[in-house]
Amino acid sequence: MNSEAKIVGCLKSMATTLKLPKCTDIELKNIIGLGLENAILTLFPTEQFDIKKAVKIYRNCYFSSEPQSSDLFENAKSTIEKLYDRGYILAIATGKGERGLLSDLKNTKLTKFFATYRTAEQTKNKPHPQMINEILQQLNFKSSQAIIIGDTTYDLEMAQNAKVASIGVSYGVHCPQDLQKYKPLSIIDNITELL
């Protein structure tokens, strides 16, 4: 899902409301993939503010935005449907909160395609491997039977930490050169390459 603009906009709104220093779009974009509290604290490590209030302001902005303001990447829905139809077991490991994930799945009509999920609220944040380890355990898979597909260095570092193979995508948040540092099996330019 391409939620970059929505996330960046809500982070800017939160920072303005709390009178925090301005960040560049690149700085804001680079924390996408982390859990929300961790992301905010990464952006403002020396500032004094109420993190719970910051999270509340961000979430109010995120959920007051139009559902279509986070669109699926091109060919994402049809590729997910085809992978599901071919018998692949799909799961989600995300820095989003559970409410945001479930809302996005509902709005995109993708809920039924995913066997399980883990959010940053439920377990340790990326790049810690716990998120993936819990999914593997729940679904009764070994790490050698899974592949993590991600657009951030946090995704691929989490894969490396969990000893799971990974595939990077070039059209997401972090550039292919940064993704390559985590030795993915490949970096794809379109999700249909998974087929």
Q: pLDDT tens digits for 142-178?
A: 999 999 999 999 999 999 999 999 999 999 889 999 9
The chain-wide mean pLDDT, for the chain, equals: 94
The sheet with strand 147-150 has its strands ordered as 147-150, 165-169, 186-188
Give the DSSP letter of residue 147: E
**Cα–Cα dist 56/140, whole Å:** 36
**Cα–Cα dist 40/12, whole Å:** 11
User: Which residue type occupies 147?
Assistant: I
Q: Please indicate whether the domains covering 4-68 and 76-194 agree at the CATH topology level.
A: no
| CATH superfamily of the 76-194 domain | HAD superfamily/HAD-like (3.40.50.1000)
Domain 4-68 has CATH 1.10.150: yes
Q: What pLDDT, in 10s, does the model give residues 53-102?
A: 999 999 999 888 665 456 899 999 999 999 999 999 999 999 988 998 99
Model pLDDT, residue 78: 97
**Cα–Cα dist 50/57, whole Å:** 11
Model pLDDT, residue 100: 87
User: What residue spans define the domains of the chain?
Assistant: 4-68, 76-194
Model pLDDT, residue 68: 45
